[in-house]
Amino acid sequence: MSLILCVMAACNHYLSTLYQVGLPTGQSTLHYVLQCLLFTTWLSCRSGDRGIICVLRYRGWRYLLLALVDVETNYLYITAHQFTTLTSIQLLDCVSITAALALSCLLLRVRYKIVHIVGVSICLMGVGCLVWADIDDGRTLTGGKNQLLGDMLCLGGAVLFAVVSVAQELVVKTLDWVEYLGIMGLLGSILSIIQTAVLERDTVFLMPWGNWQVVALLLGFGLAQFLFCILAPAMLRDSGATALQLSLLTADFYWLMFGIFLLQYKFHTLYILSFALTAAGIMIYALKRTPILSQSQQPATYR
């Protein structure tokens, strides 16, 4: 999933820097449409309480709120890359870990042990090494078109991503991952198309659609995001939202390796130390499963 996130970052980087394409909502529309075609169709073939009509009747408004948060999360993250620096984004992304920890405690009644706190701390040390290496190489915390705006967008996106991750963990552990992907694909498609039509209509008309590189990058971004969304429920079902946030920290390392080969970044020994610390922190965190409420208490509380 970290490698897929790196592919998404690369596509977004080339779209914004080489071709000056700014479609924060439009870029994400494709993956919602693909989800709708596959999983909403799958859900429509079900009958009874697990069918799409019953799901929309009993839980539709909750999914609508979650789909809105998901659409805005993508919008904020993609827009943030246009205004602030990668180093700043790497630091601010850590907010999603704190938010996931807090939300898991409050909503899912997760009880963390010392080993989990130690694992999170080591992962954050790895991020610190990565930022240190960036500053040492001249990629400072300041810069970008509008540093303050970009940082605020990244902070908002990090918190909303944690909200979506915890809510998705709740659904896949107590209800059904096909239901989640199907309803989110349907509602996400509607919301993202509406937002694109309202906010990015002129940009869509002025897009260089005759340029195959631009079209390929948009398709690559959408397909990578679609694959990411399919893999996320499996990760959340077997581990949890906090473990997902920690694991995705390795995407920064993969992006820097990408930058060394294609963007002429300088190699720094701290990159290896950062990856080692992050991987070690994830493994320490995974030594013990995060305890939650007893099985008899879970369904009523979660619902």
Q: How far is it, in rounded angstroms, from Cα 251 to Cα 5?
A: 6
What is residue 25's DSSP assignment? T
Question: Nearest-CA neighbor of 96 among 153, 162, 152?
Answer: 162
Contacts of 194 (CB under 8 A, 6+ apart): none
Model pLDDT, residue 292: 54
Tokens encoding 48: 């009874």
Neighbours of 135 (CB within 10 A): 12
Alpha helices of the chain — where are they, by DSSP H?
2-17, 26-35, 41-44, 52-80, 86-92, 95-107, 114-136, 147-174, 177-199, 201-206, 212-238, 241-247, 250-262, 269-285, 298-302
Average pLDDT across the chain, whole number: 82
The tens digit of pLDDT for each residue in 104-121 reads 888 888 888 888 888 888
Tokens encoding 270: 């701290």
29-38, 158-167, 224-233, 255-264: which has the minimum mean pLDDT?
255-264
* Residue 249 confidence (pLDDT) above 90: no
* Residue 137 confidence (pLDDT) above 90: no
- Rounded to a whole number of angstroms, the CA Rg of the chain reads 20
DSSP class per residue in 149-194: HHHHHHHHHHHHHHHHHHHHHHHHHHS-HHHHHHHHHHHHHHHHHH
Model pLDDT, residue 299: 43
Question: Nearest-CA neighbor of 239 among 108, 91, 121, 102?
Answer: 108
Tokens encoding 8: 């998404």
Find the helix or strand (DSSP H, E) in which 286 lies.
Answer: none
What is residue 246's DSSP assignment? H
Residue written as token pair 């499963």: 289
Q: What is the pTM of this model?
A: 0.83
